[in-house]
Structure 1
Amino acid sequence: MQRRPHCGGATRTWPMLIVAAVTACSTMPKDFETPKFGIADIAPKDVAVFEQRFDVQLRIQNPNNFDLGINGIRFQIDLNEKEFGNGMSGQAVTIPRFSSEMITAEVITGLGGFLRQMQEMSASATKLRYRLKGKAFAQAPSNFTIPFDESGEIDFNLAPPAEK
């Protein structure tokens, strides 16, 4: 009968080391400020009966004193408090400290959301409220997720103000 060496202590140590390594790699850097995410442009890509695809340009502003590497983003766009579509991008970008960069993402919307938005926009609305919420996946200076929830308003009333 062959006897195996006892490795009980080593067996318990490995899981703790793995947890410590994952935790160390997935935490936000000290003094991290959440970047600002905004919609810069929306352009139709493919309009079909049941599904519409749009290319959306997102601006990411880095308020931190270090470069921020992002290797993916997942988000939802609401227009006038109604869900418009969901988007994602695997585009990798490094945003220099105190700077901004653009990424392009694909947004997919269904027929109902698309028709609802077209109806509201054709009702002579001059302002469009949007909400952009989701997660960005950082890869530098360490691996962690960045939740975001931004909102804004686009004013389509381009007429000059009336003189008094």
Structure 2
Amino acid sequence: MKRSSLHCLWLAMLVLATGCAALRPDIDPPKVSLESFNALPSSGGAPRFEISLRIANPNKQAFDVTGISYGVEIQGKELITGVTNEVPVLQPYSEEIVTLEAGLQLLPLLRLLATLGKDASDSLDYRLTAKIDFNGFVPTQRIEETGSFTLN
């Protein structure tokens, strides 16, 4: 009798786990791209920048974003980091421009400037990373965009 009860319990747990997995909808990660990057007027402190990100929701459900943490690397050196919790709800199949303010990290910038004189390349590689957290049962999304630009 005990053995059949144990089998029934395992079967019930298996059915429950399968049912919960089926409740999680297929979610495509939001598409994040760099829209603009501007220097802000300096007030005597470290340089500040305004970064605009275009965030597209390619899903049939709205995303209520709790917050975004982000970073920008140039030539493998993380120069800009920041966080924000001021993000509008991303409606289904829509795009939003999110404007962030970020500070420049001076030591990595100095290291980058030191390598620029040695490197004969006229293009610089960048990497934008973002972690987007959502309210509800939507899993955290991590996004990465890479590319290159020239100083000319």
In which range does the TM-score fall when normalised by the shorter chain? 0.5 to 0.7
1:51 matches 2:46 = yes
Q: Deviations over 1:52-91 (max 9, x none)?
A: 2111111111111112221321112111221112111121
Q: How far is 1:114 from its partner?
A: 3.1
Q: In proportion to residue count, which structure has more strand?
A: 1
Unpaired segments ≥5 residues, structure 2: 1-19
User: 2 CA distance for matches of 1:125 and 1:49?
Assistant: 32
Q: Deviations over 1:14-62 (max 9, x none)?
A: xxxxxxxxxx9xxx95111111222211111254776221111111111
Amino acid at match of 2:85: G
1:34 matches 2:29 = yes
What RMSD, in angstroms, separates the aligned Cα atoms of the two structures? 3.1
1:135 matches 2:131 = yes
Partner of residue 151, structure 1: 145
Partner of residue 77, structure 2: 82
Q: In proportion to residue count, which structure has more helix?
A: 2
Unpaired segments ≥5 residues, structure 1: 1-23, 159-164
Partner of residue 107, structure 2: 112
Q: TM-score normalized by structure 2?
A: 0.67
Partner of residue 96, structure 2: 101
Q: Contact between 1:40 and 1:58, CA under 8 Å: does it hold in 2?
A: yes
Q: Contact between 1:52 and 1:114, CA under 8 Å: does it hold in 2?
A: no
Decide which moves more: 148-157 or 75-84: 148-157
DSSP-derived class of the 1:68 partner: coil
User: 2 CA distance for matches of 1:124 and 1:47?
Assistant: 31
Q: Using a 3 Å threshold, how does the CA distance of structure 1 residues 81 and 62 change in structure 2: closer, same or farther?
A: same
Q: Contact between 1:136 and 1:145, CA under 8 Å: does it hold in 2?
A: no
Amino acid at match of 1:102: I
Count how many residue pairs are aligned between Structure 1 and Structure 2: 129
